[in-house]
Chains A and B, each alone.
Chain A
């Protein structure tokens, strides 16, 4: 019996003493919910790719900063011709790829032409549609000719889909990404983690971290213990809503609620009766109570929005008062539209909790004015097929996470089926305007038109709930792009 006891004690001791020692000050373990399918940001829409490689491994000519502003990256500076059609970029001299090869104008031409090519599988091919030709002036100067002026061109070049890659390594980037960033790719243990380490000879300020491990933790219930045991230091996007108060109360961690580019909306099929009737859409807008929807969205956080624009953007206009929550008005509008007794419609909900949970709340709110919604849960693949492509839907809830994407309302054949020449004119003018003050004015106009037309039910801006070790500095509060930019992250002394 004593022997048995001592064996047990010894085992416990051995197990305990070998548990992980606190990480040294230059290591970082970041928890991510989704594993990227591959690591090439120029060949897939998955946010999970950019969340690992954007700004860390790959860089573009420009980059998007923490406040959503355009900053120079591989392009040191640029000049724009007076007609807005020729961009001349002065490139960073001395930048190298992680395999040792040099970065120069050839790579810029190669990368942009690859993205524009006929057999390109770039998920944001539209970003490059305005480019006519790319011309190499000398190894550190590139001239890009546009077919038509594009006011958002510099911003577009800052997307993860527009990063600059080398012709020698481009084909292997899915498995072994080779970029010019401050971190180089080390190892990918499929299903478990991706490791980066500090790149030697980086052209910019060297990063403070030596190694970064992105650990894939898909389950919300598993994220909390991983944080509590110190296995993971930071979750830029924490999946656990229920356990948040517990973490907030713990002085070892900080919880930072920021904003994303995700406009969460009740998308409406504008060509399908009765939603083709402005009065019906206005009635829905009046029936929605944003505060209650936010409270029930799974996390309880989120900023109410009244149009399709991020409150973090300087051009943002608060239009939440356009159609305030007013049931009587909603009923009156429905009566005017000929639906005194309400009507029936369907609400297709994709998997995220903002949709599945928020959908219940919205259905009960619309029921109060007589609109009976039948809730149909769908998977993402079905959503893309039925709602997005075939436009076979009445209402759906989805978060549009692409940055600065109000332009989608001007697209023919987009799934909202919204068609307004006035709006299209504003967007067309935006395309040829590069003066920032004028652009902001046009953005305001665009926001107002779709808000008044009540194209969709505008609900809230998706929050970014970041949780990390209190001693960690430099993590981004907001996510103007879907990225985990670690270039300024360090451990406090």
Chain B
């Protein structure tokens, strides 16, 4: 198990290094001068030069890469060009919105998808199965921003149960924070739940055809117990894979949803930073997302090993 973990972590670290070079290089090529963008069309050349000097844009590329990457190692993400505060502070402020949002969406989608998948698999070919999978097909097809707008009109404008958007901060209480995140989490979770339900169903169906399921049924085990104890556990591997992928997607893919609900999250931050050529913020957020994807993948690998002991020795 230790060797397994060490290998996974080493691969993860290597991924991070390669990613940092790629991210930096790509943003280096992107056209656009941050100083000109900040000072606009009437700026004098003098003022532009002064600002570039202030932002440290005058140093050679390699020196800037090494300075930045070295800073990352000790947790220093640098200072934002546009906001004059440290990148790490900006990220921390935004992460307290995006992380709970992604987690809520993940929990919601799992809570919906697994029972639906189980239910559909247990009633394969019957009306209930058709209905559940039809709903899932709908969930996959509906774009989440459109679904988000419908949710806003029904629950915020019409029923007035939750705010139409915005986030006033956790300091106003857990309930108010959760209420602000509820609709966005549902909008994010629906397409994910639909995919997950389909995967759960098909994984279960495959397992249900196995000999040991027939044996379990033959020895008199009740249907439900067979499904939960034998089938679900064996069907978990593909479900976990999808879950891992989804968490990464949820974190990175909140840009649209955060815009629709004007939530001050990481997606909004990175979107804003890209349009303002606040490269150092973009680099910081992207690296953080890469790191979280790497981390989640390691966790998923560990989960595989927990679910299926055979994988531990590989």
Q: Write the residues of chain A forming the contact surface with B, with a CB cutoff of 8 angstroms.
A: 12, 15-16, 18-20, 35, 37-38, 44-46, 118-126, 174-175, 189-193, 215-219, 221-222, 225-226, 228-229, 231, 379-382, 384-386, 388-389, 400, 402
Contact flags B20-50 to A (C-beta < 8 A → 1, else 0): 0000000000111110111111111011001
Contact of B165 with A222 in the complex, beta carbons under 8 Å? yes
Closest residue on chain A to residue B34 by CB atoms = A381
Contact of A380 with B37 in the complex, beta carbons under 8 Å? yes
Closest residue on chain B to residue A35 by CB atoms = B272
Instruction: Looking at the assembled complex, report how far the CB atom of A417 sits from the nearest CB atom of chain B, in whole angstroms.
Output: 15
Give bound CA distance, A199 to B36, whole Å.
34
Assuming the A-B contacts A120-B47, A125-B46, A380-B275, are A190 and B41 also in contact, with contact meaning beta carbons closer than 8 angstroms in the complex? no
Contact of B84 with A189 in the complex, beta carbons under 8 Å? no
Given A118-B46, A123-B42, A217-B262, list of 8 further CB < 8 A pairs? A19-B160, A118-B50, A123-B39, A215-B262, A222-B165, A380-B275, A382-B32, A386-B31
Give bound CA distance, A298 to B286, whole Å.
33
Picked from A35, A175, A191, A389, the residue with its CB within 8 Å of the CB of B93 is A191
Q: Which residues of B contact A380 (CB under 8 A)?
A: 32, 37, 275
Instruction: Looking at the assembled complex, report how far the CB atom of B303 sits from the nearest CB atom of chain A, in whole angstroms.
Output: 33
Q: Which residues of A contact B82 (CB under 8 A)?
A: 37-38
Q: Which residues of B contact A38 (CB under 8 A)?
A: 82-84
Contact of B47 with A192 in the complex, beta carbons under 8 Å? no
Contact of A218 with B54 in the complex, beta carbons under 8 Å? no
Query: Which among A124, A228, A229, A388 has the highest number of chain B CB atoms within 10 Å?
Result: A229
Q: Which residues of A contact B43 (CB under 8 A)?
A: 45, 123-125
Can you list 15 A-B contacts with CB-CB less than 8 angstroms, sorted by A residue number? A19-B161, A37-B276, A44-B39, A45-B42, A121-B39, A126-B42, A190-B83, A190-B94, A216-B262, A217-B262, A221-B149, A222-B165, A222-B262, A231-B166, A380-B37
Q: Which residues of A contact B157 (CB under 8 A)?
A: 225, 228-229
Assuming the A-B contacts A38-B84, A123-B42, A381-B277, are A15 and B37 also in contact, with contact meaning beta carbons closer than 8 angstroms in the complex? no
Instruction: Looking at the assembled complex, report how far the CB atom of B157 sits from the nearest CB atom of chain A, in whole angstroms.
Output: 5
Q: Which residues of A contact B160 (CB under 8 A)?
A: 16, 19, 229
Contact of B54 with A384 in the complex, beta carbons under 8 Å? no
Contact of A225 with B152 in the complex, beta carbons under 8 Å? yes
Give bound CA distance, A44 to B37, whole Å.
9
Scan residues 90-105 of chain B and give those whose CB is less than 8 A from a CB of chain A.
Answer: 90, 93-94
**Is residue B130 within 8 Å, beta carbon to beta carbon, of the partner chain?**
no
Closest residue on chain B to residue A218 by CB atoms = B259
Give bound CA distance, A380 to B37, whole Å.
8
Give bound CA distance, A451 to B39, whole Å.
29
Q: Which residues of B contact A44 (CB under 8 A)?
A: 38-40
Contact of B39 with A45 in the complex, beta carbons under 8 Å? yes
Give bound CA distance, A461 to B134, whole Å.
51
Q: Which residues of B contact A189 (CB under 8 A)?
A: 168-169, 264
Picked from B37, B85, B90, B263, the residue with its CB within 8 Å of the CB of A381 is B37
Give bound CA distance, A12 to B179, whole Å.
12
Closest residue on chain A to residue B146 by CB atoms = A221
Contact of B83 with A385 in the complex, beta carbons under 8 Å? no
Q: Which residues of B contact A18 (CB under 8 A)?
A: 175-176
Give bound CA distance, A191 to B268, whole Å.
7
Contact of A226 with B165 in the complex, beta carbons under 8 Å? yes
Closest residue on chain A to residue B80 by CB atoms = A37
Contact of B50 with A15 in the complex, beta carbons under 8 Å? no
Contact of A192 with B166 in the complex, beta carbons under 8 Å? yes
Give bound CA distance, A425 to B251, whole Å.
59
Q: Which residues of A contact B166 (CB under 8 A)?
A: 192-193, 215, 217, 226, 231
Instruction: Looking at the assembled complex, report how far the CB atom of B68 sits from the nearest CB atom of chain A, in whole angstroms.
Output: 20
Give bound CA distance, A37 to B153, whole Å.
31
**Is residue B69 within 8 Å, beta carbon to beta carbon, of the partner chain?**
no
Contact flags B143-163 to A (C-beta < 8 A → 1, else 0): 001000100110011001111
Instruction: Looking at the assembled complex, report how far the CB atom of A381 sits from the nearest CB atom of chain B, in whole angstroms.
Output: 3
Contact of A231 with B33 in the complex, beta carbons under 8 Å? no
Instruction: Looking at the assembled complex, report how far the CB atom of B267 sits from the nearest CB atom of chain A, in whole angstroms.
Output: 10
Picked from A12, A119, A219, A384, the residue with its CB within 8 Å of the CB of B33 is A384
Q: Which residues of B contact A226 (CB under 8 A)?
A: 164-166, 262
Contact of B165 with A15 in the complex, beta carbons under 8 Å? no
Q: Which residues of A contact B278 (CB under 8 A)?
A: 37
Assuming the A-B contacts A15-B162, A37-B83, A123-B47, are A190 and B93 also in contact, with contact meaning beta carbons closer than 8 angstroms in the complex? yes
Instruction: Looking at the assembled complex, report how far the CB atom of A31 sits from the nearest CB atom of chain B, in whole angstroms.
Output: 9
Contact of A385 with B262 in the complex, beta carbons under 8 Å? no
Contact of A121 with B51 in the complex, beta carbons under 8 Å? yes
**Is residue B240 within 8 Å, beta carbon to beta carbon, of the partner chain?**
no
Which 8 pairs show the lowest CB-CB distances between chains A and B? A381-B32, A45-B40, A191-B264, A37-B82, A225-B164, A192-B264, A123-B39, A219-B259
Give bound CA distance, A229 to B179, whole Å.
15
